[in-house]
Structure 1
Amino acid sequence: MPDFLLVAGLSLAAAVVVMTVTALVAARVGRVSVVDTAWGIALLVVALACAAFSGTWQSWVLVVLVGVWAGRLSSHIFTRSRSHGEDPRYLAVLGGPLPEVGMGVAVRRVFLVQGAAVWLVSLPLQAAAVAGLDWSWAVWLGVAVWVVGVVVEAVGDAQLAAYKRDPDRGPVMDRGLWSWSRHPNYFGDACLWWGIWLAGGLASGWLAGLASLLSPVAMTVWLVWITGARLLERTMMKRPGYPEYAARTSMFVPLPPKRPGAVP
């Protein structure tokens, strides 16, 4: 129990430090969407803190997995959003632009919530640091699932970027992986975190696996129903051709597209 409390405290402190710095940056630039770039960085800092505490090869493998994901995610979001204003999602959460509502509202509604989410998602990292390794096979199974997730997410993002550059593109992206899933990038991200849970939580034993299971479950719920696919679908359904695309294409898990006239 003392080790768990210490690791939980270290992880929470790491999340607080990163979110505090991010809040200061947000106040300077006038938009809270910079927190999306900091999300991956915060989890990497937590992974490093857990590995420094335990010193095991399992925890350092997790640092690599989180680090590759965080580097790719943060650079992708930074590149995509640096020339844009505030994300509409955060305008809705805040109730208006940051300069109007003030940093107090932003801290309560965004940065505290994001910091708590970082701590929750990092539970497999904490479990590995405290419980140690029971099943090495689960580490390598987790790495394999993580690789699948990274490849699906990266290929999906690359195909979407190519579509946006194509002057002859249609109104709806339905090429490559996007013909099998309406949100392959979100599916890849979910796979990635199930892989980290396998390598960190389950590999440390049944008790650690159960205690940290909320992490990949929460990530999947957020990606599908809260901050990801469902939220984006509300806007996309207004685009010409998208309802027809949605009728033949799986929303999340990649599946062969339905034939025209097939029963849903």
Structure 2
Amino acid sequence: MSLDTRNLRRVAGVSALAVTAIQTVTAAVGIPRQRRDYADGAWGPGLAAVAVTGAVLGNGDPVRRWTTAALTTAWAARLEHLMLGRLRGKDTEDERYTEFLDGSSTAGVVGKVFVTQAVSQLLVSAPTMMAAASTLPRGKRRLLYPLGAAIMVTGAVVEAVADRQKDAYSTRPRDERPSVLDTGLWGWSRHPNYFGDSLFWDGAYVAAAASSPAQWTFPSPIAMNYFLIYATGAKRTEKKMQDRPGYRDYQQRVSFFFPKPGKHV
């Protein structure tokens, strides 16, 4: 058995404390200011905190522990820079939160937003925690670790490039840019940033699954893909964008999520 269950309990327990602390501080700052959307800024740091906790406290393969922590921290740092820029650039709360939380009490807000996000962070991070307390096998299965790390890097690059292309489009004067961004990665997928994010966490699962016990954490990447496609990501964006001029045509020409060559007119 390559999994140290006692060590896993330690990693999971401290990770839960770290995530809870981050969410508590975020709620304490955001709720009084009617900025429940500050939760967006806590997503990356929470996931990075779990990965770093696993690297420090885990007794599994050290190279995998620290590689995963480094990649996750770099991913989270870039995302946090992006999120903070967006949050600081607005004086009012994101309308998604205002609509979702309309009429909710303070306790309801804490439960719907901050507790839910904390649980989601721990669920998504289950492969990382499992890997932190697991050794690598000696056979060919151990090759899943470098494969997973490569997928993580690829996903992070795709997400970063897509976000940069989107920012470059957004900074152009409205009368000098097309109504819809359909070039670069956005000509292959309507949501390449979400796809890159999905790829990153799929890679984290593959890297962890090199140790056989971690293969049973497959609900984690499934949950992350659900969040990115249905709950808070691509589908919600589609609903918001569908009335923009040219967007329905864009939907006909370019793949929804998984990249493939678009149809040009």
Q: What's the TM-score, normalizing by structure 1?
A: 0.91
Percent of pairs with identical residues: 40
1:2: Cα distance to partner? 3.2
For the 8 Å contact 1:22–1:34, the answer to whether it is kept is yes
Q: Which letter does structure 2 place at the counterpart of 1:155?
A: V
For the 8 Å contact 1:93–1:109, the answer to whether it is kept is no
Instruction: Give the equivalent residue in structure 2 for 1:187.
Output: 195
Q: Which runs of 4+ in 1 moved over 3 A?
A: 1-4
Q: Which letter does structure 2 place at the counterpart of 1:113?
A: T
Question: Aligned partners of 1:6 and 1:166: how far apart in 2?
Answer: 50
Matches for 1:104-253 after TM superposition, within 5 Å: 104-134=107-137, 135-167=141-173, 168-199=176-207, 201-205=208-212, 207-209=213-215, 211-253=216-258
1:90 aligns with 2:97: yes
| SS across alignment from 2:31 | helix
Which ranges of structure 2 fall in alignment gaps of 5 or more residues? none
Q: Which letter does structure 1 place at the counterpart of 2:121?
A: V
Most deviating of 39-48 and 114-123: 39-48
For the 8 Å contact 2:10–2:57, the answer to whether it is kept is no
Question: Aligned partners of 2:64 and 2:231: how far apart in 1?
Answer: 31
Q: What's the TM-score, normalizing by structure 2?
A: 0.90
| SS across alignment from 1:203 | coil
Instruction: Give the equivalent residue in structure 2 for 1:60.
Output: 66
Deviations along 1:4-51, one digit per CA (max 9) or x if unpaired, are 333322222221111111111213433111111111101111112111
For the 8 Å contact 1:65–1:196, the answer to whether it is kept is no
Question: Aligned partners of 2:50 and 2:206: how far apart in 1?
Answer: 18
Q: Which letter does structure 2 place at the counterpart of 1:145?
A: I
Question: Aligned partners of 1:67 and 1:243: how far apart in 2?
Answer: 37
| SS across alignment from 1:33 | helix
| SS across alignment from 1:257 | coil
1:33 aligns with 2:40: no
Instruction: Give the equivalent residue in structure 2 for 1:7.
Output: 11
Which ranges of structure 1 fall in alignment gaps of 5 or more residues? none
For the 8 Å contact 2:15–2:53, the answer to whether it is kept is yes
Question: Aligned partners of 1:251 and 1:232: how far apart in 2?
Answer: 11
1:57: Cα distance to partner? 2.1
Instruction: Give the equivalent residue in structure 2 for 1:74.
Output: 80
Q: Which letter does structure 1 place at the counterpart of 2:65?
A: S
Question: Aligned partners of 1:259 and 1:179: how far apart in 2?
Answer: 9
1:162: Cα distance to partner? 1.1
Deviations along 1:43-70, one digit per CA (max 9) or x if unpaired, are 1111121112225221111110110110
1:258: Cα distance to partner? 2.9
For the 8 Å contact 2:7–2:58, the answer to whether it is kept is no
Most deviating of 214-223 and 23-32: 23-32
Q: Which letter does structure 2 place at the counterpart of 1:257?
A: G
Question: Aligned partners of 2:23 and 2:222: how far apart in 1?
Answer: 23
Question: Aligned partners of 1:153 and 1:198: how far apart in 2?
Answer: 19
Deviations along 1:83-135, one digit per CA (max 9) or x if unpaired, are 21211221122115xxxx45322101100100000110110111112222224
Q: Which letter does structure 2 place at the counterpart of 1:81?
A: L
Instruction: Give the equivalent residue in structure 1 for 2:53.
Output: 49
Q: Which letter does structure 1 place at the counterpart of 2:128?
A: L
Question: Aligned partners of 1:137 and 1:193: how far apart in 2?
Answer: 17
- The number of aligned residues is 253
